[in-house]
A and B are shown apart, each in its own frame.
Chain A
Amino acid sequence: MLAQQIVNAISLGGVYALFALGFTLIFGVLNVLNLAHGALFMLGAYAALAAVVFLQLPLLAAVLVAMLVTGIAGWILDKVIFAPLRTRRAPHLAPMIATIGVAITMTSLVEGSFGAENLRFPPEVLPTEILTLGPVQITQLELKIIFLAFALMGVLLWGLKKSRFGRALRALAESPKAAALMGVDVEGFFRVTSIIAALLGGASGVLIALNTNAVFPHMGQPMLHKGIAVVILGGMGDIRGALLGGFFLAFAEVFSVAYIGSTMRDAVAFGSLFVVLLLRPQGLFGHAAQRRA
C-alpha cells in the first residue's frame, strides 16, 4: 500500500519539519543548541490535553492554547537563561548545558504532577471519520494535522522571506553585530525568536500527540533526538534543510518500519545522524556555517 505509506510519511514529515524548524531557528539566530526543545514539545502536548479535559475546549482552540503556553515558556527561557548568559558573554556551550538542565527539570515536574503513564485524549474529541481518496484512506484527524502543520510552516516561511521582520531576522542570524549597527533591536529579536521557536515546538507536540494519541512525560526525548538528526541532515541553522530533512527522516522511518520492522525505527535516525556527523557535519544541504562577529 505504497500510497498509504506516502500519506503517513507526509503527515509525519510535516510534524517533524515543524519541530525541526523551531530547533534550527534557535540555532541559526541565537546560536544555541536548545536541548529543551523536546521538553517544550512535551509541554505543548500536555497543555492541549489539559485544555481539552479541563477547559472543555475544541481541538483547534486546544492547539492554540498549547502554542500560547509554550510561547510563554519560550519567553521565560530566553529571559531567565539565554539573555543573562548573553550579557555575561558566557562560554558558548553554556546555554546548551543549561537547556539540558531545563529539559530534565521540566520533564521531572510534569512527571511528578501528571504521573508517568501514557495519557490519552478523550475519544469524543478526536474526529474519527475516515475519508477515502482513491487508494488512500485517511482519517479526518490526520488531514487536519497535515493541514495545520503545513499552514504553520507556510506562515513561518512566508514571514521569513517576505516580511520586514523576517529580513531582520535573517540579517541577525548572519551577524548580530552588523544587525545591531543597522538599528535592529537585537535583544528583542532574540526574545521573539525564542518564542516563535517554542510555539513551533509546542504545536508539533500537540500534533504528534493527536496522531499517536499518547501523551507522556518522556515523549520529548526521542523527538529531540530526531530533531537533532533532522537538523544535522539538513544543515544546522538552515531553514530549507530543516524542512527537507524532516520529510526525509519521516519517509526513511515509515519505509523502514514497513519493510524492516519497527524496533529499529529509532535507530534509523541515530544511525544516520552519527554517520552524517562523521562524514559531513554541515549536513546534506547545509554549508559549513561560519558565524561572523
Chain B
Amino acid sequence: MRRSGELESSKTPANLMEWFESFWATYNTLVLSIGTNVLLALSIYLTLATGLLTVANAAFMGIGAYTAGLLTTQAELPFFVALLLAALLPALVALMIGGPTLRLSGVYLAMATLAFGEVVRIFILNAEDLTGGALGLNGIPQLTGGFEVVLIVGLTLYIFLCLARSRIGMTMTAICQDETATELMGVNVRGYKLFVFVVGAALAGLAGGLNAHFTFFISPNEYGFERAVEILAMGVLGGTGSPWGAVVGGVLITVLPELLRGLGHYRPLINGVILILIILYSPKGIWALLRPARAATGLPGTN
C-alpha cells in the first residue's frame, strides 16, 4: 500500500500496525465507499431537512466524477484542483437551475429533479468525444486515500453539526415545517433553499470526484436512477433529525449488502426494501428510533 510509509510510529506496537495494514489491504475500498456515501448522505440530508425532496444528487455526483476524472486524466491537473472543480461545477449548475426549479414543490420538484438527472445522464452518454459515452472513462488514477476521505468527511460533518445546532439549522427546520410562516418572519426562504441545493450539489460532486479516483472506471449508468435511489435511501434511512443520522444512513447502506454475504449484487434490491420498510415503519428515519426524544421533523410534505 502506498501509505505504508506514513504508518510508522514509534509509539504503537508492531502487531497493531500489521493488523491495520492487512485490514486496509482487504477493506480499503469499503472504507472509502463508506466515506463517499456518508458525504452523499449528508448532501441529501441538507435538502431533506429543509423540506426539499430532490433526487438530483446522483446527477451532480456524476458531473463531479467526470469533471475530476477528465481533469486528472486529460489535463493532468493535481488531485486537489480536480476535486475543487468537482465540487464547483455541480454547484454552478445547481445555481443555474435552482432558481426556477426550486419554485416547484412536492411531487413537482421531485419530478423535475428526476428529469434533470436523466438529462445529465443522456448528455454524458452522448458527449462521446468528451466523456467516452457509453464506454465510460477508463484509467482514472487511484488518488483517493483514506486520509483525504477522513479529512473531508470529518470536516463536513463538523460544519454540518455546527450548522444544525445554530439558527441556520433551526431556520431550515422551520422552512421544512411551514414555508409560508417562515417567510413571513422575514426569512429569505428562496435564498435558503438555493443555498442548501447548491451546497448539496457541491458535496455530491466532491463525493463523485473522490469516488471516481478509487474505482478506476466510471460510466454514465453509475449516476442514474439506481444511484439516485441509493442516495435517497441513505437520506430517508438516516432521517432529518441530525447529521449523525446521515452518517448512520450512509454507513448502513454501504455495509449492509456486504454483510449479507453474496448479496452485494443485490444492492439495489436492498436499497428498495430499506426504503419501503423505513417509510412504512419509521418514516422519520432510523435516527428517530435511536433518539426518540429529540423528535425529527420528518419528511418533506409533513404539513
The answer to whether A228 touches B269, judged by C-beta atoms less than 8 angstroms apart, is no
A30 within 8 A of B: no
B interface footprint on A76-112 (CB within 8 Å = 1, 0 otherwise):
0000010011000011111111101111111111001
Instruction: Kindly list chain A residues whose C-beta atoms are within 8 Å of the C-beta of B302.
Output: 91
The answer to whether A274 touches B53, judged by C-beta atoms less than 8 angstroms apart, is no
Q: Total number of A-B contacts with CB less than 8 angstroms?
A: 126
The answer to whether B266 touches A94, judged by C-beta atoms less than 8 angstroms apart, is no
The answer to whether B269 touches A104, judged by C-beta atoms less than 8 angstroms apart, is yes
Residue from B110, B112, B279 in contact with A85 in the complex, judged by beta carbons closer than 8 Å: B279
B232 within 8 A of A: yes
A interface footprint on B241-279 (CB within 8 Å = 1, 0 otherwise):
000000000000000000000000110110111111001
Residue from A85, A108, A232, A277 in contact with B272 in the complex, judged by beta carbons closer than 8 Å: A108
The answer to whether B104 touches A101, judged by C-beta atoms less than 8 angstroms apart, is no
A interface footprint on B63-76 (CB within 8 Å = 1, 0 otherwise):
00000000000000
B225 within 8 A of A: yes
The answer to whether A274 touches B301, judged by C-beta atoms less than 8 angstroms apart, is no
Instruction: Kindly list chain A residues whose C-beta atoms are within 8 Å of the C-beta of B233.
Output: 101
The answer to whether B300 touches A91, judged by C-beta atoms less than 8 angstroms apart, is yes
> In the assembled complex, how far is the CB of residue A219 from the closest CB belonging to chain B, in whole angstroms?
13
Can you offer 21 A-B residue contacts whose CB atoms are under 8 A? A33-B107, A33-B110, A90-B283, A93-B107, A94-B283, A94-B301, A96-B107, A98-B279, A101-B275, A103-B272, A104-B275, A112-B265, A225-B118, A264-B122, A271-B119, A277-B101, A277-B104, A277-B111, A277-B115, A278-B101, A281-B108
A273 within 8 A of B: yes
Instruction: Kindly list chain B residues whose C-beta atoms are within 8 Å of the C-beta of A92.
Output: 106, 301
> Given A81-B280, A112-B266, A221-B225, do A93 and B115 touch, yes or no (CB 8 Å)?
no
The answer to whether B122 touches A104, judged by C-beta atoms less than 8 angstroms apart, is no
A189 within 8 A of B: no
A69 within 8 A of B: no
Counting contact residues on chain B (CB < 8 A from A), the size range is 35 or more
> In the assembled complex, how far is the CB of residue B117 from the closest CB belonging to chain A, in whole angstroms?
9
Instruction: Kindly list chain B residues whose C-beta atoms are within 8 Å of the C-beta of A236.
Output: 107
A267 to B111, CA, bound (A): 15
Which A residue's beta carbon lies closest to that of B225?
A221
Residue from B126, B271, B274 in contact with A264 in the complex, judged by beta carbons closer than 8 Å: B126
> Given A92-B301, A270-B119, do A97 and B225 touch, yes or no (CB 8 Å)?
no
A221 to B233, CA, bound (A): 18
The answer to whether B269 touches A94, judged by C-beta atoms less than 8 angstroms apart, is no
A229 within 8 A of B: yes
> Given A93-B106, A96-B107, A270-B115, do A101 and B301 touch, yes or no (CB 8 Å)?
no
Residue from B111, B269, B275, B280 in contact with A112 in the complex, judged by beta carbons closer than 8 Å: B269
A96 to B108, CA, bound (A): 12
A266 within 8 A of B: yes
Instruction: Kindly list chain A residues whose C-beta atoms are within 8 Å of the C-beta of B122.
Output: 264, 266-267, 270
